[in-house]
């Protein structure tokens, strides 16, 4: 039997995502009620500009006092889609204190203060759900947290930012330079006026912290994630990648060490073979590859951003939290029992593609090879082209640690025959 008294929802933020959440709650009200077992009612919407016309939202529900809204006491679920650290953090903890569960899409806050927020939710016996914080409409957190709860996840490798994937895809498919591809992404609405959070990897790094924490049952903060942006990727890098049968993607990579005692999380551009499933992810789409002991390899793919896709993930969480509310239970909370060591980038082992500008004269290759050997970095292939006294030397290594590669590059820079290091890129997905 369906309960007639509605569950009341407070919406914090009514921008691109928030307005879609409100629209779906209204247009799909009967279906949502049937799935939950009770009607859901939008009880208030906190915004910064109350005078703005918001289609489908009664003006009497609009307020600028978000704190008063979450303190009402009759709110069952608070949906937070305002983003940022403050006031979102204070509003979420206040919601818990006044009896509400929370659904959030706030990746930055969760990556920075997820442990404290989970502790607050647990203290007050409330839910904290955040599927929309990582990959838009793609179901990812729930499979990691619930479907794979009995498995051992060893690696999470993915494209988790649509803006950067669109830019790199354009550079790959059309030969465009970085700025040209960014300008197109901005014109189409894929990139913000200030794209720094996307192109410098901050957005992906926050998502990597969340994914690593869930996958490895270990607290991983944003500061633990190595981050490298994609603004230095050039058409020449794509040409080199194609020569290797690869393309370039900005990847979030979370790995368990072979000895099982530590984990790493990183975000950076990388070459991946065209045969890898992630290589075929085009445009602004996202995809995440999960590798585990029992399940093997799983891939999750779909639109990773946008109002409607992200709102879909928010509403999925809302349904789950409302069901828990009706049954008097809570869903999975933080799982950090493993408490593995979070290692730095120096411990990461992978292959590297290094492009050097060198003097075009006998003995250069031997000098370069000697430096690699002295630092314990094994060379897989070498390609050299040159004329008029200058040459380009491309070296692809076997697997080596980042620390060893760093020492190698430092020594290479000291050679009189090396004019400069044109680019260094990791090779993943093999």
Residue with tokens 């828990």: 324
Note the helical H segments in 280-349: 307-327
Look at residue 52 in the predicted model and tell me its pLDDT.
Answer: 84
| pTM (predicted TM-score) | 0.94
Taking residue 77's Cβ as centre, other Cβ atoms within 10 Å add up to 25
- Give every CB contact of residue 43 below 8 A, 6+ residues apart in sequence: 8, 9, 10, 61, 72, 74, 75
Count Cβ atoms within 10 A of the Cβ of residue 189 and give its class: 0-12 exposed, 13-18 middle, 19 or more buried: exposed
Look at residue 180 in the predicted model and tell me its pLDDT.
Answer: 96
pLDDT in tens, 154-200: 999 999 999 999 999 999 999 999 999 999 999 988 888 999 999 99
* Phi (first) and psi of residue 221, to 5 degrees: -100, 165
Look at residue 391 in the predicted model and tell me its pLDDT.
Answer: 85
Give the separation between CA 402 and CA 400, rounded to whole angstroms.
Answer: 7
- Identify whether the C-beta of residue 267 lies closer than 8 Å to the C-beta of residue 260: no
Give the separation between CA 201 and CA 346, rounded to whole angstroms.
Answer: 19
- Identify whether the C-beta of residue 184 lies closer than 8 Å to the C-beta of residue 212: no
Per 3-state DSSP, what percentage of the chain is helix, strand, and coil (rounded to 5)?
A: 40, 25, 35
Q: Is 398 left (phi over 0), alpha (psi -120 to 50) or beta?
A: beta
Give the separation between CA 122 and CA 278, rounded to whole angstroms.
Answer: 37
Q: Which of 247, 267, 238, 269 is nearest to 107 (CA)?
A: 267
Indicate the pairing of strand 285-292 with strand 226-227: unpaired
* Phi (first) and psi of residue 177, to 5 degrees: -80, 170
pLDDT in tens, 112-166: 999 999 999 999 999 999 999 998 889 999 999 999 999 999 999 999 999 999 9
Catalytic sites, residue numbers: 207
The answer, yes or no, to whether the previous bond of 87 is cis (omega within 30 of 0) is: yes
Give the separation between CA 99 and CA 135, rounded to whole angstroms.
Answer: 28
Q: How high is the mean pLDDT in each 10-residue block of the chain (430 residues)?
A: 85 95 95 96 95 86 97 97 96 98 97 97 98 92 95 97 96 95 92 94 98 98 97 93 95 96 98 96 95 96 88 97 97 96 94 93 92 96 77 93 96 94 91
Provide the mean pLDDT of the chain: 94
């Amino acid at each position: 039997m369906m309960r007639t008294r509605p569950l009341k929802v407070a919406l914090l933020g009514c921008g691109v995502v928030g307005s879609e959440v409100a629209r779906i709650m209204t247009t799909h009200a009967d279906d949502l009620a049937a799935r939950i077992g009770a009607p859901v009612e939008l009880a208030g919407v906190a915004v910064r500009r109350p005078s703005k016309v918001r289609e489908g939202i009664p003006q009497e529900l609009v307020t600028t006092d978000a704190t008063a809204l979450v303190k009402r006491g009759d709110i069952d679920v608070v949906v937070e889609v305002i983003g940022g650290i403050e006031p979102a953090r204070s509003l979420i903890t206040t919601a818990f204190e006044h009896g509400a569960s929370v659904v959030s899409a706030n990746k930055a806050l969760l990556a920075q203060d997820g442990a404290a927020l989970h502790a607050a939710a647990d203290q007050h016996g409330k839910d904290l759900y955040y599927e929309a914080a990582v990959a838009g409409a793609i179901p990812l957190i729930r499979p990691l947290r619930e479907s794979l709860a009995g498995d051992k996840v060893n690696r999470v490798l993915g494209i988790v930012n649509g803006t950067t994937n669109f830019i790199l895809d354009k550079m790959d498919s059309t030969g465009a330079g970085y700025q040209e591809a960014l300008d197109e992404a901005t014109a189409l609405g894929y990139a913000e006026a200030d794209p720094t959070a996307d192109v410098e990897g901050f957005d992906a790094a926050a998502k990597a912290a969340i994914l690593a924490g869930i996958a490895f049952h270990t607290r991983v903060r944003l500061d633990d994630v190595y981050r490298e942006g994609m603004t230095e990727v050039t058409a020449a890098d794509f040409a080199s990648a194609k020569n290797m049968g690869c393309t370039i993607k900005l990847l979030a990579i979370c790995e368990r060490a072979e000895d099982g005692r530590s984990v790493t999380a990183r975000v950076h551009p990388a070459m991946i073979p065209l045969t890898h499933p992630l290589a075929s992810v085009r445009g602004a789409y996202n995809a995440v590859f999960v590798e585990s002991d029992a399940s093997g390899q799983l891939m999750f793919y779909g639109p990773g951003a946008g109002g409607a896709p992200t709102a879909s993930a928010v509403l999925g969480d809302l349904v789950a939290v409302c069901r828990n509310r009706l049954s008097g239970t809570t869903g999975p909370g933080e799982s950090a029992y493993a408490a593995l060591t979070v290692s730095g980038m120096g411990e990461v082992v992978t292959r590297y593609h290094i492009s050097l500008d060198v003097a075009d004269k006998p003995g250069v290759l031997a000098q370069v090879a000697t430096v690699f050997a002295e630092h314990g970095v094994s060379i897989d292939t070498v390609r050299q082209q040159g004329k008029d006294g200058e040459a380009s030397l491309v070296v692809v290594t076997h697997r080596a640690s980042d620390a060893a590669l760093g020492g190698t590059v430092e020594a290479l820079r000291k050679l009189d025959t090396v004019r400069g290091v044109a680019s260094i890129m990791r090779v993943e997905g093999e």
